[in-house]
Amino acid sequence: MRRSICVCEPNHAFAGDSGTWKFTYTTASLLPKGTKLRFDLESGGRNIDWQIPQTNLKDKANLIWAELPNNKVIGATETSHPQSATTSFEFVLPAELKTGEQFSISMGSPDRDEKKGNRSQQFVQRRRPFCLYIDPKGKGEYKEHELFQLDVRGNQLKALRVVAPSLVARNKRFDVIIRFEDLFGNLTCNAPEGTLIDLSYEHLRENLNWKLFVPETGFIALPSLYFNEPGIYKIQLRNLQTKETFLSPPIKCLPEGPLSIYWGTLHGESDRFDSGHNIESWLRHMRDDRSMQFVATSCFDSEEETSNDTWKLISTQLAEFNEDDRFVALLGFQWKGESNEEGLRQFVYSKDMKPLLRQKDTKNNSLKKIYKTNNPKEMIAIPSFTMGKATCYNFADFNYEYERVAEIYNAWGSSECSLKEKNLKPISGSGKEAISESAEGSLIKALNNGRRFGFVAGGYDDRGPYNQLYEANQAQYAPGLTALLAKEHTRASLMEALQARSCYATTGERIILGLHIAGFNMGSELETKNRPGLEFNRHITGYSIGTQPIVEASLIRNGKVFKNLEAKGEKVEFEIDDTDLFSTVALEPQEDRPPFIYYYLRIVQADGHIAWSSPIWVDQTTKASPNGLKKAKKKSKDVE
């Protein structure tokens, strides 16, 4: 039985290149006059997707047209179809097409002018599909389709990226991956023949100066590297062909390293792949292209957003992708309750194959019910976008067991404080669909009222309450990153770090951060009962190493700048004694807790990127606080 033939010319494209693409269809059966053919680019219509052509034959730029066997040119008509995310293009045969004859569709410039051509998508994809639907009856009733496929490859080499740990211990071996990337971040081997990359290190032995070729895979793994002495290091890559130099993010080597930094996101989508539609591609992109060390899914709980079958597929793929010491995949979802009272939550499970808690179910229609029927050791609830008016959470019913961390930032803004309080990434927008800020959801306000949580950051999101923000006049920033300071690169260890608030947030750059009081790490709670000296002096130490020069480094005490720290280029290192009498600066919580002080570190780089450490709390448990009075009265009665 004869089959139709589909051929692409050329049979591959380079990401982001403009050209003229020809799709030739050789029919295996006679197509009568009036046959309709619908060509679908399978494009999402985003800037990174394949460019949508225009249909005006008089305009020779970015044109789509068709040619018959007699070389006659026919134009296309734009049409929409429920199965297509963007416009499709329909052609009507002015004469019959006999068996074995060819019908070709072209996109680009009839003059073959690349500047007027059609632009390919900006990301790599093997066997990228284009669909041709055929209706011989001419009624627009399309069923099965023919398939054209071409490979989209990485474009010319533009950048070199180093994927390396942020914290290492002296003489402890670690692996480094060198990525050879094009302008759009795709892996590529498209470089002039003989291109050599010089790899060197600061403060290391001269015999560790290497020359690297550009590999066909687009990346090289360098195993078992180590540093002999504590310090701050950067791996330097120099393209000997172009003389360009690229530096890795900073690597801090400690004399001893009980904890390591693991980078990832607990809430966010990719601009390339939708986790609900293609969870496997999304996981590979986050792990391999974005170099994340952990991720959590963050689909919404509604059936319209996440069907039972989709949730089952997501759960299965996460279990398969989770791999100790390489990539931790966590099962999570978003749940939106009443504004102010419940707000928006990102739930993250510590185990596989857990249920999706749908708000429409009676047993899951409030946070109190969810918290009552689940185990805080197996689930964490993250208040998200708390200062967004549509998702506001006032922290009145804050749950200390489940809500161990809160999202201080995502790509739509920061919930640290209000614009009047000098928020550097404010939630702002104008127009009907935009979301404005609500001061009730300020994290500083919640902290001042005695709520205790660490800081994490989210990424891009275009679902649920965020679904209109891309089209609205809403301020948009870079996707954030969360750093977890954990003992091991395992799911259990990372969840333990979240529970201990051993984490910090950035606006997307891998800024190294450390904050300690009396030797205790961020997220800790200290008591003057166990350390009486803290009433009179809090010895605070910390550091930060940026990816760009640091222009502002502030130690925040009780929501206000306590000390502006001196930065030397990309580095900040400090020791401070807070000798203010505890009782004169302490905050009084709203509930039955002792007076307290909290501190956190905020870093701002020259490029506008920010990092926030999780707070450290000091409680005045030696004072006759409400708790102390109750204990004293009880002890007195026992003596009597």
- For 297-343, give the secondary structure using H, E and C: CCEECCCCCCCHHHHHHHHHHHHHHCECCCEEEECEEEEECCCECCC
Q: How confident is the model at residue 627 (pLDDT cuts 50, 70, 90)?
A: very low
* Residue 44 buriedness (CB in 10 A; 0-12 / 13-18 / 19+): middle
Q: Give me the pLDDT at residue 112, please.
A: 87
Q: How confident is the model at residue 46 (pLDDT cuts 50, 70, 90)?
A: confident
> Minimal CA–CA distance to 106: which of 153, 73, 79?
73
- Taking the C-alpha atoms of residue 405 and residue 127, their distance in angstroms, rounded to an integer, is 42
Residue entry with tokens 């946070």: 367
Share of the chain above pLDDT 70, in %: 95
Is the pLDDT score of 204 beyond 70?
no
Other residues' Cβ atoms within 10 Å of the Cβ of residue 437: 23
Q: Are residues 181 and 56 in the same domain?
A: no
C-alpha 119/C-alpha 109 separation (Å) is: 11
* Pair 184, 241 in one domain: yes
**Per-residue confidence band for 544, with pLDDT thresholds at 50, 70 and 90:** very high
pLDDT class for 637, splitting at 50, 70, 90? very low
Contact between residue 147 and residue 7 where contact means Cβ atoms under 8 Å apart: no
The answer to whether residues 523 and 617 touch, using CB atoms and an 8 Å cutoff, is no
81 and 201 in a single domain? The answer is no
Mean pLDDT of 454-479: 92
- pLDDT exceeds cutoff 90 at 3: no
Is residue 1's pLDDT more than 80? no
Could you tell me if 122 and 26 lie in one domain? Answer: yes
Residue 633 confidence (pLDDT) above 50: no
Do 253 and 149 lie in one domain? The reply is no
Residue closest to 310 by CA, chosen among 300, 322, 320: 300
- Tokens representing 404? 């161990």
Whether residue 276 has pLDDT greater than 60? yes
Contact present, 112 and 14 (Cβ < 8 Å): no
Could you read off the pLDDT of 336-372 as tens digits, one per residue? 998 899 999 999 999 999 999 999 999 999 999 999 9
Residue 257 has pLDDT above 90, yes or no: no
Asked whether residue 45 is assigned to any structural domain, the reply reads yes
Q: How far apart are CA 43 and CA 41, in angstroms?
A: 5
Domain boundary among the residues 257, 282, 307 is at: 257
Confidence of residue 203 (pLDDT cuts 50, 70, 90): low
On whether both 523 and 574 belong to a single domain, the answer is yes
Tokens representing 412 are: 């739509």
Phi/psi for 114 (5° steps) reads: -60, -35
Residue 406 placed within a domain: no
In sequence order, the 6+-apart residues with CB closer than 8 A to the CB of 640 are: none
One domain for residues 74 and 171: no
Give Dmax over CA atoms of the chain in angstroms: 111
State the total domains in the chain.
3
Of the pLDDT bands very low, low, confident and very high (cuts 50, 70, 90), residue 543 is: very high
> pLDDT tens digit string along 360-408?
999 999 999 999 999 999 999 999 999 999 999 999 999 999 999 999 9
Domain end point (choices 257, 285, 320): 257
Q: What is the mean pLDDT of residues 504-532?
A: 96
* Calpha distance 451→318 (Å, rounded): 32
Average pLDDT over the chain reads 92
**Does residue 637 fall inside a structural domain?**
no
Q: What is the mean pLDDT of residues 520-525?
A: 97
Question: The whole model's pTM is what?
Answer: 0.90
623 has a pLDDT exceeding 70: no
Q: Please indicate, yes or no, whether residues 87 and 61 belong to a single structural domain of this protein.
A: yes
What type of residue is 272? R
Residue 554: inside a domain: yes
pLDDT exceeds 70 at position 24: yes
Are 556 and 600 in contact by the 8 Å Cβ rule? The answer is yes
Q: Are residues 573 and 596 in the same domain?
A: yes
Residue 411 lies in a domain: no
Residue 634 predicted with pLDDT over 50: no
- Does 61 lie in the same domain as 188? no
The reported pLDDT for the residue numbered 624 is 41
Residues 253 and 232: their CA atoms lie apart, in Å, by 6
CA atoms within 13 A on the CB side of 180: 25
What CATH number is given to the structural domain containing 190?
2.60.40.1930
Write down the pLDDT at residue 632.
Answer: 35
Dihedral of alpha carbons 22, 26, 32, 38, sign: negative
571-578 and 567-568: which strand pairing?
antiparallel
From CA 567, how far away is CA 573, in angstroms rounded?
8
pLDDT, position 629: 37
Given a cut of 80, is residue 467 above it in pLDDT? yes
**Is residue 308 assigned to a domain?**
no
Rounded to 5 degrees, φ, ψ at 607 are -85, 5
Location of structure tokens 């020359």: 211
Picking from 165, 130, 163, the residue whose alpha carbon sits closest to that of residue 146 is 130
**Considering the domain boundaries, does residue 600 fall inside one?**
yes
Q: Are residues 85 and 144 in the same domain?
A: yes
Tokens 């006759």 -> residue: 624
The confidence score (pLDDT) of residue 640 equals 37
180 & 118 share domain: no
CB 212 within 8 A of CB 203: no
On the question of pLDDT at 422 being above 50, the answer is yes
Q: In this structure, what CATH number is given to the domain that contains residue 543?
A: 2.60.40.10
Whether residue 612 has pLDDT greater than 80 = yes
Would you state the pLDDT for residue 473?
A: 87
Q: Looking at the predicted structure, is the pLDDT value of residue 45 above 90?
A: no
pLDDT band for position 208 (cuts 50, 70, 90): low
For 319-338, what is each residue's pLDDT tens digit? 999 999 999 999 999 999 98
| Confidence check: pLDDT of 562 > 70 | yes
In a domain, 362, yes or no: no
Among 242, 128, 107, 270, residue whose Cα is nearest residue 185: 270
Pick 473 or 568 by higher pLDDT: 568
CA distance linking residue 622 with residue 527, whole number of Å? 8
Residue span of the structural domain in which 202 resides: 159-257
